Structure 1
């Protein structure tokens, strides 16, 4: 069991992570999921990725076990987490002392190949080869699925923000995993079988909560003596976005009969598709309904002008979702009672 101790200053510094470009740690965790073959949710993804692994993927396989701890230098912290914020440059610049320490720790649990000693000694050519392979793997395992992964993470973040605004930080911490327990000022996390109790004091540095698609069933605490501590957890999944590989869409948008009579079949389908807290980008909306982006944009504009849809810019993406009026219209037309938030 891991016990994370908070001060009042730490509680004030609990934040929810967001990266428009997903962090490199997502790729590292996905490699573990690929190796252990976990769950039907990722079966189509594993099939797609497994057919095009980079030529030197064995370099990563030697450093990243199927389960458990992987070297921290492969997963840069919040300031350099993603490719757009310099993650691969940060990996290339890893000091020799850190490489030595982390590879020594890794060697306690598994036998490392001979070339790992070069890496532990700070050989730049070897470090560059590992970094280049990780970058190539990221482009195969994460980049093509970014939109669908982002949709899952955005929906989860919207839910957590709503929970924090309504019930406070403690409710968010307690709701990250069924086995997590919040008794102020301590958060208890389940640990690996056989592991004793570990106490970690945040000491005013706060905690970054970061949802990762490939986190696995157990939350992961990335804790050290420098930088911002990070708690990685699995997001809540919407069954409608439960597969990272998009299935062929229906050729005709679907909507309720009453709503289609009022708005027209396609416009009604657009309105219903946007009835979630996370909403959709124009591109996601077009893909989900098998219509062109121009058609999707036209219908969104008409619905927004009627006060049924609102649009919000997040980083470089504009996301559309229904207003209360739009949600109530769907509820009345379909008899579903609409989306109820506590």
Structure 2
């Protein structure tokens, strides 16, 4: 179990990221190629990614360079996920390139080689080899991460809606408690129940950046070095896939037709509980439950428990549908009105595992 210790200043400096961190997404997506766990959530991405890597002749680079440098194991190098990644891909890759040679050597020496020998891995500490690594990371991101940027952002927007509600109703204490059961908030300590390492991290005024991640699966991840700027990368909730229907009289499509559900779908854009939707539409709780089930079964909303009620938010498909019909702006809202990235103003690694790796082109 990992224990993260907060001071009052750390609570004031706890933030929730507004966008995907491209290097954390990149690293986590490489882990998806190394296991079949969680495959259902990434099936569409995987079906597109493998041929795209083949078309761009990146399969060998992924196998021989990127996966060995970033294995799905209890440790992978911190320098590959710098804090600057929160500012965008270019800033993150510049930080990777600028990492001191001795630090790169130290971190790579801790990596268990996968498919290459240790000396080959350690050569990445040299400036020329690191430049090749950065070019490979950029090409990989362009091929298989960038095409899903809008999908990732839509899920993060929905996630921020849910966490904003927890914050507005319960302050920072409510926000941190909302991550149960994967994390336990026992003030002033946040416990990562299933983390592979048994250690404590004292923030000492540095604060914590919470980063929801599309490609992170099952367990939250942190940087390994306790003295680095601290982030907590945690998995987003993915909508369950549904079997495609080819018949024109699809009961799901037929059930979605009508203005009532359009109003309810728009209401979910800023997050809404079943009782709030009932008040907005004037329908009974039973009718709301019927309609939200249809929206959920169609993959348009996500629902989760919130203080004894169901809290509904949009999936990427739901957000895209609203945008197409001009019910949302070009970019869906990142939070409910008035929610700041800095949550302080309100009152108060991955896991090694089994599973068959995925064949790459």
Q: Could you state the TM-score of these two structures normalised by the residue count of structure 1? A: 0.71
Q: Is the 8 A contact 1:160 1:172 kept in 2?
A: yes
Structure 1: which 4+ aligned runs deviate by more than 6 Å?
108-111, 250-253, 283-286, 320-323
Give the corresponding residue for 2:137: 134
Q: What is the aligned partner in structure 2 of residue 48 from structure 1?
A: 48
Deviations 1:7-47 (A, max 9, x none): 1111111110122x642110110110122122211122112
CA distances 1:26-75 after superposition (whole Å, capped 9, x unpaired): 01101101221222111221121122221521200111213332111111
The aligned counterpart of 1:81 is 86
Paired residue for 1:92? 97
What does residue 38 of structure 1 align with?
Answer: 37
Matched, 1:317 2:316: no
Query: What's the counterpart of residue 237 of structure 1?
Result: 238
Secondary structure, in 3 states, of the residue corresponding to 1:106?
coil
What secondary structure does 1:52 align onto? helix
Q: Contact 1:33–1:214 at 8 Å: present in 2 too?
A: yes
- Residue 191 of structure 1: how far off its partner (Å): 4.2
When residues 270 and 202 of structure 1 are mapped into structure 2, their CA distance, relative to the original with a 3 A threshold, is same
In 2, distance between residues paired with 1:179 and 1:52?
Answer: 34
8 Å CA contact 2:21–2:211 kept in 1: the answer is no
How far does residue 145 in structure 1 lie from its aligned partner after superposition?
1.2
Count how many residue pairs are aligned between Structure 1 and Structure 2: 285
The answer to whether structure 1 residue 288 and structure 2 residue 287 are counterparts is no
SS at match of 1:67: coil
SS in 2 for 1:317: coil
Structure-2 residue corresponding to 1:275? 267
Where 2:173 maps in the other structure, the secondary structure is helix
| 5+ long unaligned stretches in structure 1 | 261-267, 301-310, 324-342
Distance 1:255 1:6, change over 3 A: same
8 Å contact kept, 1:182–1:188? yes
Q: Is structure 2 residue 71 aligned with structure 1 residue 65?
A: yes
Higher relative contact order (CA 8 A, sep 6+): 2
Partner of 2:12: 12
Conserved? CA contact 1:270–1:285, under 8 Å: no
Secondary structure of the corresponding residue to residue 35 of structure 1:
coil
Alpha-carbon deviation of 1:170? 2.2
Instruction: Determine which of 155, 158, 162 is the counterpart of 2:161.
Output: 158
Structure 1 residues 188, 88: CA separation in 2 closer, same or farther (over 3 Å shift)?
same
Change in Cα spacing, 1:224 to 1:271, as seen in structure 2 (3 Å) is same
Q: 1:185 aligns with which of 177, 185, 188?
A: 188
TM-score, scaled to structure 2: 0.67
Alpha-carbon distance in 2 for matches of 1:213, 1:275: 24
Equivalent residue number for residue 28 of structure 1:
27
Q: Which has the larger radius of gyration?
A: 1
User: Match for 2:127 among 106, 124, 127?
Assistant: 124
- SS of 1:87's equivalent in the other structure is helix
Query: Residues 68 and 113 of structure 2 are in contact (CA less than 8 Å); yes or no, is this contact kept in structure 1?
Result: no
Which blocks of at least 5 consecutive residues in structure 2 are unaligned?
Answer: 272-312, 338-361
**C-alpha distance 82-32 of structure 1, shift in aligned 2 (>3 A):** farther
Match of 1:340 in 2: none
Aligned residues of 1:152 and 1:238 also touching (Cα < 8 A)? no
1:216-243 alpha-carbon deviations (Å, 9 max, x no partner): 111112254555311111123344xx69
Find the residue that maps to 1:203 and give its secondary structure. Answer: coil
Measured at CA, do residues 3 and 321 of structure 1 come closer, stay the same or move farther in structure 2, by a change above 3 Å?
closer
Partner of 2:109 in structure 1? Answer: 104
Maintained 8 Å contact 2:22/2:89: no
Distance 1:108 1:190 in 2: 28
